[in-house]
Structure 1
Amino acid sequence: MSIILISENANIILKDFLRNTGHILCEVVKTDSVYDAVSSHPDIYLCKLDDELVISMEQLPLLEKLLTKYEIKYTPGSSTMGYKYPENIRYNAVQLGKHFIHNMKYTDPVLLKTAQEKGLIFIHVLIKVIQSAISSQ
């Protein structure tokens, strides 16, 4: 048995397949904290580090019963989400092996501390927005 955190908007065929193959689904529901296109994406609201989730304050009340029921270890984050970048990426980090990848400037402090406590190696990702102009010349 495995537990999968999945968007409430995921395709029903996918959800049925996952359930029929023995997985338990915990659906991440939409909030108004971020823009609509990503408003139910699990990776926007939480990050898994080893066997522990760091979860945003916006999503925690919506998932807490399920997390407790299935004995999923979690820690509440401290940052509030926002509609625009970088407020909407506080938890959108990833652990790959012993590496923690994110733009550390915008990482939720609790998530950052948890990654440090686990001895993960930080890989800082810098996103640079390049604006272009069209000229008639």
Structure 2
Amino acid sequence: MYEDKTVAVIDYRAGGEIIENLKKLNIHVVTTRRHDTLSEPVNGHPDMVMFKDESSGIIVCPEEYNYYEECLQPFNIKILKGCNELGNKYPGNIRYNGVLNGNVFFHKVDSTDARILDMMKGRNIKCINVNQGYTKCSTVTLGSGGIITSDAGIMKAAVEEGFDALLISSGYIGLDGYDYGFIGGSTGFVDNTLYFTGRIDKHPDCREIMRFLYEKGIETVFLSNKCIYDLGTIIFLKQGEECEK
């Protein structure tokens, strides 16, 4: 059993520099595995196969449940099996790509995994429907610090719910096989620190992003010296209670 450990779930294709820098920060790294139903560019993206809930546990698609149960067992991280398997096309591939920030859940709700929706209902979490089904990909969640997104619809919904939100330009983030990746998929947030997969110097909104984070008192870590790249969110988990089934 590990004690007081932060775990980072990250795409199996993440570069050695990123993984080594996480380890230097005393963060245990769990890599995803290839999910053949998903398209090649995103078949290792954590935010496509799992949803992080408020208790620092995860809801995982049924196909990947046993893998993550084994990987995360030493950390007593709560892991629940989702109801819906993933499809290979939109919207069947977005079941677990919702965003929970505080007491509000954002997603294309008619495509959300049933267990996630049951959890939201049980906790009296407000569910807000947005058109962008790749909601987590598109969104940096900062808890009470608000959100950063490149999607105008998510931005509008977040502001209407009282969140401080920053809208940034689309693009300028790498993702092989697509024109560009997304800011949410290129970052991970834990302990008041936002981790970037790479540098954001070439993003036209770099200054606005850094100013927004500075004003919120949020620290930043750049895990590589390469340009920022979409790895499907670095999902940080804290050692928690015994696993539920």
Q: How does the TM-score come out when normalised to structure 1?
A: 0.88
**1:66 — aligned with what?**
71
Q: In the alignment, is residue 93 of structure 1 matched against residue 92 of structure 2?
A: no
Distance in 2 between the 1:105 and 1:115 partners? Answer: 14
Q: In the alignment, is residue 118 of structure 1 matched against residue 131 of structure 2?
A: no
SS in 1 for 2:111: coil
SS in 2 for 1:59: helix
Q: RMSD between aligned alpha carbons?
A: 1.4
| Alignment equivalent of 1:23, drawn from 6, 27, 36 | 27
Preserved CA contact (<8 Å) 1:28 1:59: no
SS in 1 for 2:109: coil
User: Aligned partner of 2:16: which letter?
Assistant: I
C-alpha displacement of 1:49: 1.0
Identity in percent: 26
SS in 2 for 1:64: helix
Distance in 2 between the 1:18 and 1:127 partners? Answer: 30
User: Aligned partner of 1:71: which letter?
Assistant: N
Preserved CA contact (<8 Å) 2:107 2:132: no
Distance in 2 between the 1:63 and 1:50 partners? Answer: 18
SS in 2 for 1:24: strand
The correspondence of residues 1-137 of structure 1 with structure 2, limited to 5 A, is 1-51=5-55, 52-127=57-132
4+ residue runs over 2 A deviation: none
User: Aligned partner of 2:14: which letter?
Assistant: A
- Higher RCO (CA-CA < 8 Å; seq separation 6+): 2
Distance in 2 between the 1:63 and 1:127 partners? Answer: 27
C-alpha displacement of 1:119: 2.1
Distance in 1 between the 2:123 and 2:19 partners? Answer: 32
**Unaligned stretches of 5+ in structure 2?**
134-245
Distance in 1 between the 2:26 and 2:109 partners? Answer: 36
For residues 6-39 of structure 1, what are the alpha-carbon distances to aligned partners after superposition, in whole Å with 9 as ceiling and x for unaligned?
A: 1111121011000111001111111111111100
Distance in 1 between the 2:48 and 2:75 partners? Answer: 21
For residues 54-105 of structure 1, what are the alpha-carbon distances to aligned partners after superposition, in whole Å with 9 as ceiling and x for unaligned?
A: 1101211221112222101011001011110011000001111111111010
